[in-house]
A and B are shown apart, each in its own frame.
Chain A
Amino acid sequence: MAAAEDSRPFAGLSDVSISEDIPVEGDISVPVGSSRRDDELSTLDEPVKETILRDLRAVGNKFVHVLYPKRSSALLRDWDLWGPLLLCVTLALLLQGGAADSDDQGGPQFAEVFVIIWFGSIIITLNSKLLGGTISFFQSLCVLGYCIMPLTVAMAVCRLVLLGGTGMVSFAVRLAVVTASFGWSTFASTAFLTDSQPPNRKALVVYPVFLFYFVIGWMVLTFSPSQ
């Protein structure tokens, strides 16, 4: 009997049955997104002033996050490029030398600063993506752009210091300010960017960022006002 049973491999299956008393229960939740549709409807119908204020608050929030670079995800989750655009334009204007009608001041021209900042950010982003980073293109641009803020502040301080003269003391002060802000920018951006990289590649990602802020810091430090 046993041999005959063993020779039919699925013999026992016909006896298998589930008693109807056993409750089969589970939870299938399909997020229909109705609550999200309500959010969408409410943002669709909100007055334009509300939208503007909301976006402005988001940008301001990110500036605060650059000032105190903790490992938070605010810069990464809700990225936007308004802050970088504003900082880029401000920095380029501050590097103008104050002359309104001529562009050959010996300092970087307006369009050069723009191109350096944006092309530099794009190339660093491409580099980090090629090295296998998980951060998205625009998130990386957002972080790099917002972290220019310390250097912009340093530029404003340098302009003020240069009002007082261009001697050794002024140079020493400017050097200290620029070095501090360069360190701050690099530290802040690597705090956000290196989380997304595999651990043995972190240095490969950090050095272009270092170069990028170094070039900007160099432009800030070597700025001299026209007479």
Chain B
Amino acid sequence: MTMADDTEDVELDFAADEQERARRSAVIRHPLASFFHLFFRVVAIVVYLLCDWISKSFASCFVLIIALLSFDFWSVKNVTGRLLVGLRWWNQIDEDGRSLWVFEAKKLGASRGSNTGTEAEARIFWLGLIICPLIWTFFFFTSLFSLKIKWLSLVVASISLQAANLYGYLRCKAGGQNGQPPDKCSFSGQHLLQRPDIIFGIL
């Protein structure tokens, strides 16, 4: 009877094969995701800096940068966030038409057997997430003070795309560390207390 109380998950390592152990002890578990996390953002910044050499037309630079940043937004929100750091955020509309923002984080203890990222990957993720919006903010001021208003519109669009992911993941992280239920922003707070299914992501 006492055995039933003692059901702590013990990792029985003799069942793991070589590949599994290598994967678990690797420095970077998701090389492709880490690469793409940084790729689109950095290329967008490079294109912005070199746009005079790439093409004479403002429109093509604009479209190229916005396309790159859209791909980046989508991949960071849907793929690299959950693979590298186990965080996720989204918006859903419930049946009454109320808007609900859900921020979710994987519980730390459960990441032993799972596929979440390592320390190095987490560092790549957060550095990439924070530094690029700062660079775009710097571009905002340079284009503002040099009065290039056309480029200002592009920079504002870029900042909004990058800052959205930054803000979403920071809220996920804040919710996860305090051990509270994830932040739920909605226009009717009472309704949420009756929705226990939006719980902390326990895996």
Contact = CB atoms under 8 A, between A and B. Distances in A.
A110 B197 contact: no
B99 A136 contact: yes
B58 A111 contact: yes
Interface in B73-132: 74, 78-79, 82, 88, 91, 93, 97-99
Contacts of A48: 79
B58 A31 contact: no
A118 B161 CA distance: 13
Given A30-B196, A85-B70, A103-B58, A109 B97 contact: no
Interface string A59-94: 000000000000000001111001001000100110
A31 B150 contact: no
Interface string A82-119: 10010001001100100011010000011100110010
Nearest to A136: B99
B16 to A, nearest CB: 19
A93 B59 contact: yes
A51 B79 contact: yes
Given A89-B66, A109-B150, A115-B153, A44 B196 contact: no
Interface string B176-201: 00000000000100000000111101
Contacts of B97: 76, 134-135, 196
Given A100-B56, A196-B97, A31 B196 contact: yes
A139 interface: yes
A23 interface: no
Interface residues of B, number: 32
B57 A101 contact: yes
Q: Indicate the size class of the contact surface on chain A.
A: 35 or more
Among B59, B93, B149, which residue has the most Cβ atoms of chain A within 10 A? B59
A32 interface: yes
A134 B188 CA distance: 11
B99 A36 contact: no
Contacts of B199: 32-33
Interface string A135-169: 11111000000000000000000000000000000
B66 A110 contact: no
A51 B78 contact: yes
B78 A114 contact: no
Given A33-B196, A109-B58, A114-B157, 8 more contacts: A36-B197, A37-B202, A79-B93, A100-B56, A111-B154, A136-B93, A136-B99, A137-B99
20 contacts: A30-B197, A32-B196, A32-B197, A33-B198, A37-B201, A37-B202, A51-B78, A92-B59, A93-B59, A100-B56, A100-B57, A101-B56, A101-B57, A109-B58, A110-B62, A111-B149, A111-B153, A111-B154, A114-B157, A136-B187
